[in-house]
């Protein structure tokens, strides 16, 4: 694997979740649009891989994503009823900053989970799969998905409480 591919994988692993949460707020909760923006942002990061490091890429990624939202970017999927987000439609900066900080704390707490527990949480809550879909993707029984989810959410809640995140 070359350096560029390694950096892109690290960027994706570290920033996809927090970036998705940030963009999701900007687009009013439209998961499909948020995912489109995140993918385009990460594609643009790949084009600038020599200029970025995974540790310091957050501000650059957020700026690119915000610019894509404001300019009305949409993946070419035939949806023509979309309109660009106007600056007045954006959430207040204080709320946005708080949300981004909480997203980072959640991402950090997720990294503290076991790989099995983290995989279940990602499939159910970030990829929005059903229990049966997550079970199929992970190759485990649905009951195991439910059990791991229960223990993962409990561990996640405890980790977030330790960090002072109570919402």
What sign does the dihedral 114-117-121-127 (CA atoms) show? positive
Domain formed by 1-75, architecture: Orthogonal Bundle (1.10)
Query: What is Dmax (Cα atoms) for the chain?
Result: 46
Report pTM. 0.43
pLDDT for 114: 92
Per-residue model confidence as pLDDT tens for the chain (167 residues): 567 677 778 888 888 888 888 988 888 888 888 888 888 888 888 888 788 888 888 899 999 889 888 887 544 444 444 444 455 555 555 556 666 667 777 788 888 899 999 999 888 888 888 999 999 999 999 999 999 999 998 998 888 888 777 65
What pLDDT does 84 receive?
47
Would the CATH topology of 1-75 be identical to that of 112-167?
no
- pLDDT at site 58: 87
Domain ranges, ordered by start, for the chain = 1-75, 112-167
Which of 156, 52, 60 has its CA nearest to residue 108? 156
| Residue (of 122, 32, 153) closest to 82 by Cα position | 32
Question: In CATH, what number does 112-167 get?
Answer: 1.10.10.10
Please check whether residue 64 is in contact with residue 41, taking contact to mean a CB–CB distance below 8 angstroms: yes
pLDDT value of residue 147: 92
């Amino acid at each position: 694997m070359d350096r560029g591919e390694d950096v892109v994988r690290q960027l994706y692993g570290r920033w996809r979740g927090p970036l998705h949460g940030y963009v999701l707020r900007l687009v009013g909760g439209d998961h499909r649009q948020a995912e489109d923006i995140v993918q385009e942002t990460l594609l643009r990061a790949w084009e600038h891989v020599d200029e970025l490091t995974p540790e310091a890429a957050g501000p650059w990624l957020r700026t690119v994503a915000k610019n894509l939202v404001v300019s009305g970017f949409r993946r070419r999927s035939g949806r023509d009823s979309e309109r660009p987000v106007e600056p007045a439609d954006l959430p207040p900066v204080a709320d946005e900053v708080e949300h981004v900080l909480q997203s980072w704390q959640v991402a950090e707490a997720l990294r503290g989970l076991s790989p099995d527990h983290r995989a279940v949480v990602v499939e159910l809550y970030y990829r929005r799969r059903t229990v049966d879909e997550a079970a199929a993707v992970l190759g485990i029984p649905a009951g195991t998905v439910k059990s791991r989810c229960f223990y993962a959410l409990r561990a996640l809640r405890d980790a977030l409480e330790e960090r002072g995140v109570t919402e």
